[in-house]
Amino acid sequence: MERKTQSGYLVLADISGYTSFVARTEIEHAHIALSFLLETIVEALSACLTISKLEGDAVFCYCEEGNFPQGKSLLGLIDHTYLAFRDKAQALWTHATCDCKACKAIPTLDLKFMVHHGDFIIQQVAGIKDLLGTDVNLIHRLAKNHVTESTGWQGYALFTNQGLERAQMDKTAFIQQTESYEHLGDIETYIMDMHVRYDALKAS
């Protein structure tokens, strides 16, 4: 079967603090909370993007070239998703009826976004769609970055130069940072603190 190379946005929404949250808390309540949070992320992102798959603590999605809804902005979608995530986490914590470690630790979870624009192939095997390509590898490698190390941020949006330029966004609103990966080289990225945006959105 012929597989056609396509281009578009690639977005990975990854829950920060997932590993320690699961390791240090009761697994039953931890996974219930994470299921609610992942459902919230999927519901928000699927308004404009196609969900490719869930990857443990992350949601990987994409949008083929020209299919992003007119009148919508990618940063607006990220704002909406982050707002929904934080509000859901707060609601789960506030309405928890037990005092287990998992329920108490929900506020330690945060959300980060990796955004890139590039090429990919959609492969379908046994009725399951999967994305392939160097740019798909890149968006996943970007989840391992130095943002928290250099800024202290747990919740943030990271755009590659290609993603930012394609979305026609103002680079001065971001902090530039270069990441380096084996086989991929130096990647120019632009990062934004989602906590600042969340506070501004709640205030408005």
pLDDT tens for 77-120 read 999 999 999 999 898 878 776 776 666 778 889 999 999 999 99
Quick check: 1 pLDDT over 60?
A: no
Nearest to 20 by CA among 29, 28, 12, 30: 30
Q: What is the pLDDT of residue 26?
A: 56
Q: What is the pLDDT of residue 136?
A: 96
Quick check: 25 pLDDT over 60?
A: no
Residue pointed to by tokens 């995530």: 85
Q: In a 3-state reduction of DSSP, which class is residue 61?
A: strand
Q: What is the pLDDT of residue 92?
A: 83
Quick check: 29 pLDDT over 90?
A: no
Per residue in 12-21, pLDDT (tens digit) is 999 987 666 6
Q: What angle (nearest 5°) sits at the alpha carbon of residue 82, between those of residues 77 and 88? A: 125
Class for domain 5-203, per CATH?
A: alpha beta
172, amino acid identity? T
Residue 183: how many other CB atoms lie within 10 Å: 8
Query: What mean pLDDT is reported for the chain?
Result: 89
Nearest to 78 by CA among 53, 114, 132: 114
Q: What torsion do the CA atoms of 193, 143, 57, 199 make, to the nearest 10 degrees?
A: 0
Q: Average pLDDT in the 119-130 region?
A: 84
Torsion angles phi and psi, residue 82, rounded to 5: -65, -40
Handedness of CA 15, 184, 3, 167 (dihedral sign): positive
Q: Kindly tell me the burial class for residue 41, based on how many C-beta atoms sit within 10 Å of its own C-beta (0-12, 13-18, 19 or more).
A: buried
Residue 76: how many other CB atoms lie within 10 Å: 11
